[in-house]
Amino acid sequence: MIKTLIIINLVLILASLGSGMFFLAKDDGKGNRVVTSLTIRVALSFTLIGLILVGYFSGNLVPHQIQ
Q: What is the pLDDT of residues 4-56, one digit of tens each?
A: 999 999 999 999 999 888 888 887 767 788 888 889 999 999 999 999 999 99
Query: Left if phi > 0, otherwise alpha if psi is -120 to 50, otherwise beta: which for 63?
Result: beta
Q: Quick check: 67 pLDDT over 70?
A: no
Task: Give the SS3 label for residue 28.
Answer: coil
CA distances from 45 to 7, 10, 54 (A): 12, 8, 14
Cα end-to-end distance, the chain, whole Å: 29
**What is the spatial distance between Cα 31 and Cα 45, in angstroms, rounded to a whole number?**
23
- Confirm whether 65 is domain-assigned: no
Its domain, for residue 21, covers 2-58
- Confirm whether 64 is domain-assigned: no
- Confirm whether 66 is domain-assigned: no
Q: What is the pLDDT of residue 65?
A: 65
Domain count, the chain: 1
